[in-house]
Structure 1
Amino acid sequence: MKWSLNELTKKKQINFTEKLDLREELRSRSAEILDCQPVETTGQITYDNGLFYLDYQLKAVLSLPSSRSLKPVEYVMEVAVNEIFASEEKIKEDQDLLENDMIINLDKDLIDLDESVTDNILLEIPLQILGENEEDEALPAGKFWSVLTEEDYQKQQEEKKVEKKSPFSDLDGLFD
């Protein structure tokens, strides 16, 4: 869905509820997205004093590879988005806008909802995704190695600090 700036300046506010099929766009921009169901969006776009405000909620269900097993995991994402757009003329006219607020510069006479939703979905994909059973499974380990979670690693580092406070800690490993 796209809105022309002329249309927005005349109507001042447009409410929308859309289902967007962004599967191909998302998959082309991110190799880790295996699949995407249609994205539900509900919100409004308003015009006020040279600025365009795009506020909406999006709900997406993505199929992403698990961080451990690479098996597909369904990830449900709900995001509230608030964006402010301004034309180049408005930004040139009022430089304080750029310095004080995060304003998106419009390089064309359109505001594209598909583009905004795609960008915000890509920004919200977490670094670690685990399936239901994977959270409870033990991490892999070998004879002289093991995988640690970040919390376990922090605990291990703190235990080492406590052990080093002993006056005899320098003698550790002397007779190995």
Structure 2
Amino acid sequence: MKWSLNELTKKKQISFNEKLNLRDDLLKRSQEILDCQPIEVKGEIAYDDDLFYLDYQIKTVLTLPSSRSLKPVEYPIDLLVNEIFATEESLRGNQELLDNDLIIILDKDLISLDESITDNLLLEIPLQIFAEDEEAEELPAGKFWSVLSEEDYAKQQEEKLEEKKSPFDALNGLFD
């Protein structure tokens, strides 16, 4: 879905409620995404005072590889998006607006909903995702090694610091 800036300045506000299939675009832009169900999008785009306001909600399910086993994991997304667009000419005299708000400067006379959705979904991909059975599973370990979670590692480091805080630490091993 795309709107020309001319159309938006005339109509002032356009509401939309669509079901989009952006699977191919998402797969091209990210190797992490294995699949994407159809995307439900509901919102509006409005024009006011040389600014274009795009507000919408995304609902979809991405299939991503597990961080541990690479098994496919379904990751539901329910996201509210608020973006403000402006042309370069309209912002020339208003540097304060640029400094205070995150405004996307348009490089063409179109606003593309598909591009916005794709960008925002890619930003929502988590760094780690686990399958349900993997979350409860113990981390791998060997005879003299083990994998620690970040929390366990932080606890281990705190315990080492607490041990060293004792004033008698220097005397340890003195009479061995």
TM-score (norm. length: structure 1): 0.95
Q: Using the alignment, how far apart are the partners of 1:166 and 1:100 within structure 2?
A: 50
1:52-99 alpha-carbon deviations (Å, 9 max, x no partner): 000001012101000001100000011110000001110113222211
Where do 5+ consecutive residues of structure 2 fail to align? none
Where do 5+ consecutive residues of structure 1 fail to align? none
Structure 2 vs 1, CA of residues 60 and 144 (structure 1 numbering), >3 Å: closer, same or farther?
same
Q: Using the alignment, how far apart are the partners of 2:122 and 2:57 within structure 1?
A: 15
Aligned to 2:103: 103
- Give me the identity figure in percent: 73
Structure 1 residue identity aligned to 2:14: I
Structure 2 residue identity aligned to 1:36: C
Cα offset for 1:8?
Answer: 0.6
Aligned to 1:65: 65
SS at match of 2:121: helix
SS at match of 1:133: helix
Q: Using the alignment, how far apart are the partners of 2:54 and 2:132 within structure 1?
A: 35
Q: Using the alignment, how far apart are the partners of 1:74 and 1:49 within structure 2?
A: 41
Aligned to 2:139: 139
Structure 2 vs 1, CA of residues 113 and 174 (structure 1 numbering), >3 Å: closer, same or farther?
farther
What are the residue-to-residue correspondences of 1:60-139 with 2, within 5 Å? 60-139=60-139
Structure 2 vs 1, CA of residues 174 and 144 (structure 1 numbering), >3 Å: closer, same or farther?
farther
Structure 2 residue identity aligned to 1:110: L
Q: Using the alignment, how far apart are the partners of 2:71 and 2:172 within structure 1?
A: 44
Structure 2 residue identity aligned to 1:121: L
Structure 1 residue identity aligned to 2:7: E
Q: Using the alignment, how far apart are the partners of 1:38 and 1:106 within structure 2?
A: 27
Cα offset for 1:15?
Answer: 0.6
Q: Using the alignment, how far apart are the partners of 1:27 and 1:173 within structure 2?
A: 60
TM-score (norm. length: structure 2): 0.95
Aligned to 1:31: 31
Q: Using the alignment, how far apart are the partners of 1:137 and 1:173 within structure 2?
A: 39
1:118-146 alpha-carbon deviations (Å, 9 max, x no partner): 00000111101011111000000111111
Query: Runs of 4+ in structure 1 displaced over 4 angstroms?
Result: 171-176
SS at match of 1:60: strand
Residue-pair matches, total? 176
